[in-house]
Every structure is written in structure tokens, then in C-alpha cells.
Amino acid sequence: MARILIVDDDVLSTKIYLAKLNNDHHEVVLCQNGQDALAKIITKFDLVLLDIMMPKMDGIALLKEIQKGPNRLTPVLVYTNLISEKVKQEALANGAKEFLLKADYSPAQILAKFDQYLPRAA
């Protein structure tokens, strides 16, 4: 079982991920903006799925905060509809493992990415 933090203001997509990950016996914490996630990142997660465009605090600002705490080595997958090479480079420079465009990936493909980064059960 892995602890996964999903930070995204798109309620529909987070429900899809939540249902599948709970079915696979993972613990999932959902936040709809970066500010709410700040309180959660003080504990350790195995993976973070992070949107960029959110109210209150965007994903880049949260990513910078993640790098200061216990999750600085945790794989962070940034996924967004924002097509910007500058933002992509900023996300990768601040610790994101991958920068994924939502339009290019189905939920199943995103979940397959999770498998690449989650620790294997013994």
C-alpha cells in the first residue's frame, strides 16, 4: 500500500483516480488547491500527482514547498492542461519527475505512470 497525494481542482478526474487507487488498497489524500496541500505535505507520501493551474496556490509554488520538506525525494508527477515550455522547465527544475499534459493521457495511462514510481510490494 502506498500513500498518494493528489492535488487538483478538477473534481471529476480526482474521483476517477481515487476510485481506482482505493480499489488497489492505496491510501489517497485529495486536495483541491496548493494551499490545502501545504498542511498535508508535512507527512511523507510515496507519490504526488500535482496540477499546475489551481486557485489559492498554483502547482509550481507548491512544488517549491515540497522540495523543502519530508517529500523532497518523493516522485512528483505534474499534470496539467497548461502548454508552456517555460512552466515545464520550471516544474522539472523544481523536482518534478515528469510533466504530463492532461490532454495527452487517459486516466489509465496516468495510473500506469504511478506504477513506474510507486514502491513495489515485497
How does pLDDT run across 21-44, given as a tens digit for each residue? 988 889 999 999 999 999 999 999
Confidence of residue 122 (pLDDT cuts 50, 70, 90): very low
Say if strands 27-31 and 47-50 run parallel, antiparallel, or are unpaired.
Answer: unpaired
What pLDDT sits at residue 89? 97
Instruction: Give the separation between CA 73 and CA 85, rounded to whole angstroms.
Output: 24
19 backbone dihedrals φ, ψ, rounded to 5° = -60, -45
Residue 121 has pLDDT above 60, yes or no: no
CB 49 within 8 A of CB 79: yes
**C-alpha cell of residue 48:** 504526488
Q: Quick one: cell of 13? A: 478526474
Quote the cell numbers at residue 20.
481506482
Sign (positive or negative) of CA dihedral 18, 83, 33, 50: positive
Query: Model-level pTM?
Result: 0.93
**Sheet with 27-31, edge to edge strand ranges:** 27-31, 3-7, 47-50, 76-80, 98-101
Question: Does residue 50 have a pLDDT over 90?
Answer: yes
